Amino acid sequence: MRQLRAIAGSGMLLLLLIALSLMLGARPVPFHDVTHALLSDCSRIDCVIVRDARLPRTLAGLLAGISLGLAGALMQSLTRNPLADPGILGVNAGAGFAVVLGIALSGADSPAEWLGFAFTGALLASLLVAMTGAIGGGRVNPLRLTLAGVALGAVLEGLTSGLSLLNPDIYDHLRFWHSGSLDIRNFAILRTIFPAVVAGSLLALLLARSLNSLSMGGDMATALGTRVMRTQLVGLLAIALLSGAATAAVGPIAFVGLMTPHLARWLLGNDHRWMLPGTLVITPCLLLAADILGRLLVPGELRVSIVTAILGAPMLIVLVRRKLGRGEI
């Protein structure tokens, strides 16, 4: 019951934030004008702002939030690493690098092609991180995994910026894409990533039960009838789908996927059947709130990736102090 109430509360918060995200900005639009703009055909400036700028932006926040949150939660559960996040572990950087490589080699310029590349890159990067962390056998050491991810992210970002500096064409594409901002003004991108987000989310939610038994340790999970290998592979696939989709749409945004699974666990407990849906609702709240904050705090807007880094980095510090202190890492 407590869990239901928490999820319902988060859901209401999400609705409120969606409304605020449509209303607030450099030019505030009152609520009834927003509904008017969405439901009827009107061509006043307010309607155009809501329909062409704020609606895609809000939807992007929703989809990217869901993807990043679930990807983070899956990573944390699968690697049993409380510090995991697709941004920190370099998976988003992998997706970004693959997109840039795709533009450089094959001149890909449609969102669908970007998504393909982003997905492949995310998959390879998460495989690479998992393998680096797993060498040495047995349990993945969280700190080593984090460092491996940071290293991988640094290399990939270095290569990405190298490629984009060498090729003005890529630089031009990147200006619009590689920014970590929700302000995309393009429904085509959203339509392209939508199926990937839905598929990834479904996979993640279906894994909830296996993840529960996996959290008791590999041997215990096997004894309980969970196929550990399959769970991990499906999880990896879902992570790649989700972070690939998010990165293809809004560019690299870190720390969101780190924060909300912890928040969901704190609100809903460790049961993945509650925790994963909780994450699914809470993460878009955080992303939209960060985006709205970024719009209001400074004239000319702060990109959401900057706001999330400012919110999320202290969180990482708190986590590492608490967990290391208690010997949980």
Partner 1 sequence: MTRTMINALLLLMACGVLAFLGVTRGTLPISASQLWALLNGEAARNVQLIVLEWRLPRVMMALLIGAALGVSGAIFQSLLRNPLGSPDILGFNTGAYSGVLVALVLFQQNMEGMTLAALAGGLLTAGVVWLFSWRNGVETFRLIIVGISVRALLMALNSWLIISASLEAALSAGLWSAGSLNGITWAKTMPVITVLLLALLATGMLARRMRLLEMGDDTACALGVPVERSRIMLMLTGVILTAASTALAGPISFIALLAPQIARRLSGGTKGALPLAALCGALLLIAADYAAQHFFLPSQLPVGVITVSLGGLYLIALLVREARRQ
Q: Which of 3, 161, 215, 232 binds partner 1 (CB under 8 A)?
A: 161
- Footprint of partner 1 on 105-144 (CB under 8 A): 132-133, 135-136, 141, 143-144
Residue 265 Cβ, how far from partner 1 at the closest point, in Å? 20
End-to-end Cα separation, the chain, in angstroms:
32
52, 113, 157, 271: residue in contact with partner 1 (rule CB under 8 A)? 157
Q: Are the CB atoms for 43 and 56 separated by under 8 Å?
A: no
Candidate ranges 100-108, 207-215, 282-290, 294-302; the one touching partner 1 (CB under 8 A)? 294-302
| 104 binds partner 1 per the rule CB under 8 A | no
Of residues 129 and 280, the one with the C-beta less far from partner 1: 129
Of 319, 263, 201, 245, nearest to 92 (Cα)? 245
Please name which of 324, 329, 293 lies closest in space to residue 311, comparing C-alpha atoms. Answer: 293
For residue 29, give the nearest of 59, 57, 54 by alpha carbon.
54
How far, CA to CA in Å, does 153 sit from each of 90, 122, 196, 234, 246? Answer: 4, 11, 23, 23, 16
* Shortest distance in whole angstroms from residue 133 CB to partner 1: 8
Q: Is 4 exposed, middle or buried (0-12, 13-18, 19+ CB in 10 A)?
A: exposed
Q: How far is the CB of 60 from partner 1 (least distance, A)?
A: 20
According to DSSP, residue 137 is labeled S
**CA Rg, the chain, in Å?**
20
| Ranges within 248-267 binding partner 1 (CB under 8 A) | 254-255
Task: Judge contact between 96 and 156, C-beta under 8 A.
Answer: yes
CB of 10 vs partner 1, minimal distance in Å = 26
**Span from 46-54, 190-198, 210-218, 314-322 in contact with partner 1 (CB under 8 A):** 314-322
83 binding partner 1? (CB under 8 A): yes
Under a CB-based contact definition with an 8 Å cutoff, are residues 261 and 230 in contact? no
**Least distance between partner 1 and beta carbon 310 (Å):** 5
Considering the complex, state which of residue 65 and residue 312 has its C-beta at the smaller distance from partner 1.
312
Which window, 106-114, 217-225, 234-242, 318-326, contacts partner 1 (CB under 8 A)?
318-326
Nearest residue (CB) to partner 1, 208 versus 311: 311
C-alpha separations of 178 from 184, 240, 249 in Å: 11, 18, 9
Query: How many chain residues bind partner 1 (CB under 8 A)?
Result: 45
Shortest distance, position 272 Cβ to partner 1, whole Å: 25
* Pairwise CA distance, residues 243 & 229, whole Å: 21
32 and 54 in contact (C-beta within 8 Å)? no
- Is residue 309 at the binding interface for partner 1, with CB under 8 A as the rule? yes
CB of 24 vs partner 1, minimal distance in Å: 20
| DSSP H or E run through 237 | helix 228-250
CB of 23 closer than 8 Å to CB of 30? yes
Interface ranges with partner 1 (CB under 8 A) = 83, 88, 132-133, 135-136, 141, 143-144, 146-148, 150-152, 154-159, 161-162, 165-166, 254-255, 298, 300, 302-303, 305-307, 309-310, 312-314, 316-317, 320-321, 324-325
